[in-house]
Structure 1
Amino acid sequence: MELNTIHQRFLECKNVCTDTRKITKDCLFFALKGDNFDGNTFTQQALEKGAKYIIIDNDAYYKDSQTILVEDVLSTLQNLAAYHRDYLGIPIISLTGSNGKTTTKELINAVLSEKYQTTATIGNLNNHIGVPLTLLSMTKDTEIGVVEMGANHLGEIAFLCEIAKPDYGYITNFGKAHLEGFGGIEGVIKGKSELYDYLLSHDKQIFLNTDDTIQVAKTKSVKTISFGQKEEKNQITIQFINANPFVKLQYHDETISSHLIGAYNFNNISAAIAVGNYFKVPDSNIKKAIEGYTPANNRSQIIKNGSTEIILDAYNANPSSMKVALENFSNQEHRNKIIILGDMFELGTEAEKEHQAVVDLVNALNIDKAVFLGENFNKTTCIHPKATFYTSFQAFKEAFNLESLNYSLVLIKGSRGMALERVLGLLDEQ
């Protein structure tokens, strides 16, 4: 079946689904394959649950006109998304980076939503499947799309750009994330800069944070919409005021008080302001959107449990994000500061060095008690007088004592695989 015909079938459907557990009536179901499953085998089940059409790539599961046989389901999903993006013809803003992608995306979406009908990446569906699903969730009512792009290998951002075809782009930063896949920090910079490469080759524009020297160096040939703290260098000037504990800043005549902790979130907020300014969102609405945004999903959440105040930043971690989080935490005013840190993943041969660097930083900071979880942290050398190490969460759970956290400010941070949000469950059990 031709792609334009598949697109007509898609327009007849209410939404797209790739998981039979989430089938809704009159959806378009893509029978994707995974390491441990074959979506083709769920064809009958998807039909029984109400799917309007099913896209398959195994003719053994063909039923009737409701099943659409293609050569490869994943490629069809990606090609259909690119076709639909062209069909809509709306401005697409894409962003990537080592840290802060999702927070920045949500802030940009909040600001633009004050004036436009927007569709943005849900959660962190930012890979070769998530980006197509985001594009296919856009409708004729969507005026601007905001697409987050993630990658852990060279070439992935370039591939996603060919699907999303962004008109504008932003890179949050270049940090020590996915070093194993990228082969080091230079690989990270090259991989993330594939977004710049696409925008340059298609004569599109980027939002440039001039406070980031790497971004400045990488964008000398690209059309830029510049923002930063130095008025003489930027089209849009935003001034940092403080982060005690929440980021406060000045933009035009507006003083904006956010609900985001850490000076590192200043750049994320600034990017959203710059995008809003460019798309002519009124200053008062930009202020409303930023001040109304509250972080969730284990990203810098502030949680109070009795006498304990917790900064839950357990969605993910890498050496760069760990460093800024610890430095910010050390600067907080509190009489008893405790950290609970979990291993950082996907660091390859750099794992031992980077975990030791985190421990060395902890030794030097104003932190009263440190708890380290995971095999990598257990290989480090630590001189902190009140540091404890556990090889697993289970070992920590068995030794856990709620009283040790009373009247404390606690930072919880680790890679997604450590699932350190489980610490909250321990508090609830006490």
Structure 2
Amino acid sequence: MDKKIKKVLDLQKTDYQIDSRLVKKGTIFFALKGERTDGHLYLKEVAKKGAKLAIVNKNVKVDLQDLDLETLIVEDVLEFLQALAREGLKKSPAKIIGITGSSGKTTTKEFIYTLLKSEYRVSKTLKSYNSKAGLPIAILNMDKNVDFLVLEMAMDEIGEIEKLVKKIASPDIALITQIATFAGDVGSQEVLARAKKEIFINERTKIKLINKRLKKLKSFQDENYLTYSIEDKTATFYLDVENLDFYENGKKYAIEKLPFKESHLLENTLAAISICRLAGEKFNNILKKLQTLKAYDIRFEKVLIEDVLFIKDYYNGNPDATFAALKNLPKTKGKKIAVLGSHRSYGKLSSRVHEKIINEAKKYVDEILCIGEEFKNIKNIKNYSSLEDIAKNLKKIMKKDDVVLIKGSRFLKMEKIFEFLN
């Protein structure tokens, strides 16, 4: 083991952070250099907060002598962070469950954790800590002396999933939830599929589960993957939503009640049940916990405000997630209103993508309010320059029993609509 890694791992149980705002007394801080900022600029701040140690780059241009803080100089902070997490996992007895996909990752992760934790010791990645920096920080901070680690894995570019599983954590059980129809900067849907499929690349990963719809893609026609579906009875795991029956390799299990009506949440539920069965959990134990499942924060989260039902769904911004949200809006006596934020990273496809979103929205809602540059060239829609303007218009058109979907990517900060409404 590298001496510097051993030094950090030998420290008494501590807290690890890459965000200076989260540093507290005893924290080990990793001074990462990102696109927007540089962790080295916050070393004085973390020293004042009582950090125990800061991991810094060899070529750092900040004067370390005047800091009231111990520093450890390494060649590359990110690589050191990843190696530290990998080394920390070596002593863990846990089986690793890895989850990736264009949407549904965090919700499915939360569902798996909820269904497993009554019978097993389980740790999970917090929030959406799923990137090349977020995943190792999550691993370092979690209790690893457990039966299962449930890890979410995401990508910003081709090859990133492979790096996550090879450099940090290789799953024993791996799941792919969805592959986006529009692949954005990555290229085609097939290119995106190959990138997500990297979660299966290591020999350690013996159990490979995918949404049955993915079998239509060339990338998933090379193996007999385990599959799940709420539509296709031939899937390994099939949920008959109408008759409340769960099928596993053709064997039927009765379910008294499902926790959701929305198809995308039912798919997430089925994926979680399937993973738990593959992990060895008894079906009766799963049934006991099924009704405790809840939609995760800002992912189709329902909030009733003055007789208007708001649906907060502004984490995942890909078009497929938007289509799913529109399709699953609840029935109401009043109007259905969609507040839609634009999507970035679609380049030449942007106009086509946003026109499709509007055309799809018209099938399900009575009013559409948009925000974002990408909607500007679409005719006959209400496109606003600010969230405050949207809130003002909502106040004028909302009435009792209306349903309002707030849907957009995190970068748009759609949650501010509620601040302006108040």
Q: How many residues align?
A: 411
2:14 equivalent in structure 1: 14
1:393 equivalent in structure 2: 387
Amino acid in structure 2 at the alignment position of 1:266 = L
Q: Distance between the aligned counterparts of 2:226 and 2:94, measured in 1?
A: 19
Work out whether 1:152 is the aligned partner of 2:156: yes
Q: TM-score, normalised by structure 2?
A: 0.88
- 1:176·1:188 contact (CA, 8 Å) conserved in 2? no
Q: Distance between the aligned counterparts of 1:101 and 1:320, measured in 2?
A: 14
2:196 equivalent in structure 1: 192
Q: Distance between the aligned counterparts of 1:279 and 1:203, measured in 2?
A: 13
- 2:116·2:276 contact (CA, 8 Å) conserved in 1? yes
- 2:89·2:144 contact (CA, 8 Å) conserved in 1? no
Gaps of 5+ in 1: 243-247
RMSD: 2.8
Secondary structure at the aligned position of 1:193 is classed as: helix
1:170 equivalent in structure 2: 175
- 1:157·1:194 contact (CA, 8 Å) conserved in 2? yes
2:32 equivalent in structure 1: 32
1:355 equivalent in structure 2: 354
Q: CA deviation at 1:129?
A: 0.6
Deviations 1:34-74 (A, max 9, x none): 34543334445434423222222247426699422211111
Deviations 1:146-199 (A, max 9, x none): 11111132111111111111111100011135512x023222112111213x14
Q: CA deviation at 1:303?
A: 0.7
- 1:23-422, aligned counterparts within 5 Å? 23-58=23-58, 60-61=63-64, 66-162=70-166, 163-176=168-181, 179-180=184-185, 182-196=186-200, 198-199=201-202, 201-202=203-204, 204-214=206-216, 218=220, 220-221=222-223, 224-228=225-229, 233-241=234-242, 250=246, 252-258=253-259, 260-329=260-329, 332-363=331-362, 365-382=363-380, 387-422=381-416
Q: Distance between the aligned counterparts of 1:360 and 1:227, measured in 2?
A: 29
Q: CA deviation at 1:366?
A: 4.0
Amino acid in structure 1 at the alignment position of 2:164 = L
- 2:130·2:154 contact (CA, 8 Å) conserved in 1? yes
Question: Which deviates further from its counterpart, 131-140 or 393-402?
Answer: 393-402
- 1:209·1:216 contact (CA, 8 Å) conserved in 2? no
Cα 1:9/1:50, change in 2 over 3 Å: farther
Q: CA deviation at 1:358?
A: 1.3
- The percentage of aligned residue pairs carrying the same residue is 26
Deviations 1:210-255 (A, max 9, x none): 3543479616436x4444458974554432228xxxxx76461322
Amino acid in structure 2 at the alignment position of 1:13 = K
Gaps of 5+ in 2: 248-252
Q: Distance between the aligned counterparts of 2:232 and 2:119, measured in 1?
A: 26
Cα 1:351/1:403, change in 2 over 3 Å: closer
Q: CA deviation at 1:138?
A: 2.9
Q: TM-score, normalised by structure 1?
A: 0.86
Q: CA deviation at 1:400?
A: 4.3
Question: Which deviates further from its counterpart, 335-344 or 301-310?
Answer: 335-344
Q: Distance between the aligned counterparts of 2:391 and 2:222, measured in 1?
A: 51
Q: CA deviation at 1:109?
A: 1.2
Cα 1:231/1:338, change in 2 over 3 Å: closer
Q: Distance between the aligned counterparts of 2:228 and 2:152, measured in 1?
A: 20
Deviations 1:318-343 (A, max 9, x none): 221112222222x7344421111111
Q: Distance between the aligned counterparts of 2:48 and 2:296, measured in 1?
A: 35
Q: Distance between the aligned counterparts of 1:373 and 1:307, measured in 2?
A: 25
